[in-house]
Amino acid sequence: MSIKNTIISTDLEVSMGCPTATADKGMSVIRGWRRDNYVLMDIPKFKRAFPVKSYVKDIWVVRYIFQGKVIGFSAKGKTEIPPCDLFALKYPDNVETHLLRNQSRAYLNMPIRLHTSRDPDKGDNYKGMTTDISAGGVRIKLPERIKSSDSYFLTIHLPTGKTLEYILCKIIKSSYDSRGCEFGLEFVNLKEGLKYEINLCLKQFYDGLDTGGNLLPGELK
């Protein structure tokens, strides 16, 4: 897809990587662009020390979430890093996108707690683990049966470091075997801030996939 048909915006938080030098990803923010010339962004910050200035003119891969899509492109560093600590990439010819549909799932094991009441001092609480998560819901495993007809409040610890508390959800599927109980939960009236955190979790999952040379996994639109 041509980037001319894809919305790019300032103040977007993005992940950046230099695959020829490291498997690690840094975080940056898009600050501006000139079409067919450059994209200007903050110098990426890595959790572990990485000599960004030594790889300014290498190929970089950029990914970010915008309007329900994971957007990715690769581009070569255009210039040396200027004194203002901004990083310039050649304006990409093409981007690849992956639509974050409700059914786009990340297969992640994350600790959860299921509550029957929003008040932590009332009702029952169940500890379990996720088996997958999407923008629309989550699949969990519990060691015991619960009532499938009830609504619950979910607390989930994301691998991004965020903990989302008391998400209203309802059970839409359930199964039982000798290893425990599995439930499919649908999020109810999920707030925008929570949607963002879950989409960020999905994005990081996609970032970690080996896609055989593609910037993004799955069907490309």
Contact 91, 3 (CB under 8 A): yes
DSSP SS3 for 54 = helix
Confidence bin at 171 (pLDDT 50/70/90): very high
Classify residue 198 as exposed, middle or buried by CB count within 10 Å of its CB (0-12, 13-18, 19+).
buried
Domain assignments of the chain as residue spans, ordered by start = 3-99, 111-202
- Arch. (CATH architecture) of 111-202: Beta Barrel (2.40)
Pairwise pLDDT comparison (188 vs 200), residue with the higher score: 188
pLDDT value, residue 81: 57
Q: Which of 19-23, 111-115, 193-197 is the most confident on average?
A: 111-115
Within 10 angstroms of residue 184's Cβ, the number of other Cβ atoms is: 17
pLDDT value, residue 1: 54
Same fold, 3-99 and 111-202: no
- Domain 3-99 indexed as CATH 2.30.110.10: yes
